[in-house]
Structure 1
Amino acid sequence: MTTSWDEAFANRYEEWSAHMTADVAFYTELARGADGPLVELAVGNGRVAIPVARATGRSVIGIDASPAMLAQARRRAAEAGVELELREADLRDLALDEPAGLIYCPFRSLLHLPTWADRRRTFERVAASLRAHGRFAWNAIAFDHRLAARLDGVHQDAPVPHTIHYAVGDSRIDIVRDDGATSSLWWATKNEWLGLLDVAGLEVEALYGGFAHEPFTDDSREYVFVARRRY
């Protein structure tokens, strides 16, 4: 299994993700309206799953390939007094005992899958794991070449000291912390995401430019997708 995740990245993940808060209410709203099990892909430290479980009064199945992140999620859920069913697994091998009403993947985590084949396999497993008309939601960056030109190779101190490198030919972003921990992301275009939905038998319910349901426009820098299983 090829992975872009360095387990050393987990030790300061809470600081790294602290700025990302707007998505919690968005995914919680979807969870409240879901008929069937709730599943979070790349659950990480439970940043979203814990408030979703608290708000809905339901358990959330959390899938992640990182033992270090799952250990954090387990501890945080216990401290919060909520129930998470945490599973160490590859997203590309998603399999559920019961079809889900909602599967969601926050914080651009699908971008850790490096190839079209990896994403297609994941989308097909998601479609097979949803109830009829069940929802799949995720968010991802819309690549901005102007931002990339400003940030490429420039050291940044926040949220933790790091440098970002852009490998344009591979559509890859490498995030390298000063202590050597590395995480890589592979960006995708809107048409690539739409193609993945099509081959998996899913259809777009909504595409937003932000978590407050902002319209997606030519100037949007975030894809916020909500899709449905067709039948």
Structure 2
Amino acid sequence: MSVYDPMAAIYDDWAADMTEDVDFYVSLAREANGPVVELAVGTGRVAIPVAEAIGRRVIGIDASPAMLAEARRRAQAARVDLDLRLGDMRALALDEPAALVICPFRSLLHLPTWADRRIVFERVAAALRPGGRFAWNAFVFDPAVAVEIDGVWREEHGIRHRVDYAPADCRIDVTLEAGPAFSLWWVSPSEWAGLLDVSGLELEALYGWFDRRAFAEGSREFVCVARRPEPGRA
């Protein structure tokens, strides 16, 4: 059983404020001439619209059996082809190189250490075909927001929860009143750049939101697209 299994039943409500990302990832998938993979696929919130848009199989990987079961049910109802696999993104391995790997909804922030993130980036780089893309998004840590909500019970979309910040560890602990709890570790711009460097990926674009506005002072989201370099091209 995964710590994220209890989230499967309420995932839609939890993710209700994150909707504009779907069209962004769909647009990247339309440009991908080859296999498309989603890490931390969850209940298929993004993977199903992607599969509908491109008309072919999407591989979805998640560590939660309950999330995958819900994704499988939804994929069958939508009549799309999702190849759903139970696994840890740190162990990513594909039979065929991917044209696009995505990791939506801040899922890379579930990785607790630099070493964990480095492994994922290196695995993704190895799994991509030359010219293939890796796209993800993550929130930008905002100290003003942290001061406002730290330790406060709040209700959003019918889910009562609290967020506790541990600045020394760059960690956020999320506790739901219904029981589930999990942690996120925020990442700085220089750390994202370092991960690209050590994995051999190159940054193609850094946006401040899914409408592709430029990342700037005051942006609250990292929306990143990286690419595996093609041999012989600078």
> Do the structures match in fold with TM over 0.5?
yes
Instruction: Report the CA distance between 1:19 and its aligned residue.
Output: 2.0
- Structure 2 counterpart of 1:104: 102
Letter in 2 for 1:185: L
- Structure 1 counterpart of 2:205: 206
- Structure 1 counterpart of 2:131: 133
- Structure 1 counterpart of 2:81: 83
Instruction: Report the CA distance between 1:4 and its aligned residue.
Output: 8.8
Whether 1:166 and 2:165 are equivalent positions in the alignment is yes
Query: In structure 2, what is the Cα distance between the partners aligned to 1:153 and 1:4?
Result: 25
Query: In structure 2, what is the Cα distance between the partners aligned to 1:5 and 1:104?
Result: 22
Query: In structure 1, what is the Cα distance between the partners aligned to 2:222 and 2:144?
Result: 17
Letter in 1 for 2:207: Y
Deviations 1:98-122 (A, max 9, x none): 0000000000000000000000000
**What pairs with 1:1-231 in structure 2 (closer than 5 Å)?**
5-159=3-157, 160-231=159-230
Deviations 1:79-133 (A, max 9, x none): 1111100000110000000000000000000000000000000000000000001
Q: Percent identity among equivalent residues?
A: 61
Query: In structure 2, what is the Cα distance between the partners aligned to 1:4 and 1:215?
Result: 37
The alignment's TM-score, normalised by the length of structure 2, stands at 0.96
Say whether the 8 Å CA contact 2:206–2:222 is kept in structure 1: yes
Cα RMSD of the aligned pairs, angstroms, is: 1.2
Letter in 2 for 1:203: E
Deviations 1:150-206 (A, max 9, x none): 010111111311011111111111110112210210000011011001000000000
Query: In structure 1, what is the Cα distance between the partners aligned to 2:190 and 2:219?
Result: 15
Say whether the 8 Å CA contact 1:9–1:182 is kept in structure 2: no
Query: In structure 1, what is the Cα distance between the partners aligned to 2:212 and 2:22?
Result: 13
Query: In structure 1, what is the Cα distance between the partners aligned to 2:33 and 2:123?
Result: 19
Instruction: Report the CA distance between 1:9 and its aligned residue.
Output: 2.4
Greater mean deviation of Cα atoms: 113-122 or 155-164: 155-164
Query: In structure 2, what is the Cα distance between the partners aligned to 1:114 and 1:189?
Result: 14
Say whether the 8 Å CA contact 1:111–1:185 is kept in structure 2: yes
Query: In structure 1, what is the Cα distance between the partners aligned to 2:182 and 2:149?
Result: 16
Query: In structure 1, what is the Cα distance between the partners aligned to 2:2 and 2:219?
Result: 26
Instruction: Report the CA distance between 1:17 and its aligned residue.
Output: 1.0
Say whether the 8 Å CA contact 2:2–2:65 is kept in structure 1: no
Letter in 2 for 1:218: E
Instruction: Report the CA distance between 1:20 and its aligned residue.
Output: 1.2
Secondary structure of the residue aligned to 1:161 is strand
Count of residues in correspondence between the two structures: 229
Query: In structure 2, what is the Cα distance between the partners aligned to 1:6 and 1:50?
Result: 20
Say whether the 8 Å CA contact 2:59–2:83 is kept in structure 1: yes
Query: In structure 1, what is the Cα distance between the partners aligned to 2:143 and 2:3?
Result: 24
The alignment's TM-score, normalised by the length of structure 1, stands at 0.97
Say whether the 8 Å CA contact 1:4–1:184 is kept in structure 2: no
Tell me, which stretches of 5 or more residues in structure 1 are unaligned? none
Say whether the 8 Å CA contact 2:2–2:64 is kept in structure 1: no
Residues 5, 220 of structure 1: alpha-carbon distance in 2 compared, 3 angstrom cutoff: farther
Secondary structure of the residue aligned to 1:157 is strand
